[in-house]
Amino acid sequence: MTTQLLALMAPPQGQGGGMSFLLIQLGLIALVFYFLIIRPQSQARKKHQELLNNLKRGDEVVTGGGLMGKVTAMNGERITVQTGEATVVVHRRRIVQVGEAVAPGQDAR
């Protein structure tokens, strides 16, 4: 009885595709990961960079902190924004909306 039970639990003879099947599964998981996470993030980053490259004086902007105002000066990565009676200097990458164009991944409220 014990030998029959062991014979039933043993893997069948002649099947050696376990490792190749595992590699195929890992490859498919990597493809799904790329198309669902990595590629959309890189496309969003490119769109945001394009939005910031087209920034000019006089544009209405919204920062990541929620400040809304008009660009009055640009000095490299430092953008001066006139908001109400105050003038604020923000980093270029913190701008999430220019006019009606919203950076990818941001909420247009």
Please report, for residues 6, 7, 13, the alpha-carbon distance to residue 2 in angstroms, rounded to integers and kept in the order given: 6, 9, 19
What domain range includes position 63? 18-102
Q: Are 61 and 98 in contact (CB under 8 A)?
A: yes
Q: What CATH code is carried by the domain that includes residue 62?
A: 2.30.30.100
4: in domain? no
Task: Tell me the pLDDT tens digit for each residue of 44-80.
Answer: 999 999 989 999 999 999 999 999 999 999 998 999 9
- Burial code of 39-75, b = ≥16 C-beta within 10 A, e = fewer? eeeeeeeeebeebbeeeeeebebbbeeebebebeeee
Q: Is there a domain that residue 109 lies in? A: no
> Does residue 67 lie within any of the structural domains?
yes
**What's the sign of the alpha-carbon dihedral 38, 40, 43, 45?**
negative
* 68/13: higher pLDDT: 68
From residue 15, alpha-carbon distances to 21, 25, 45, 104 in Å are 11, 17, 47, 49
Tally of domains within the chain: 1
Tell me, yes or no, whether 97 lies in a domain.
yes
- pLDDT reported for residue 21: 86
In a domain, 53, yes or no: yes
In a domain, residue 71? The reply is yes
Q: State the pTM of this model.
A: 0.65
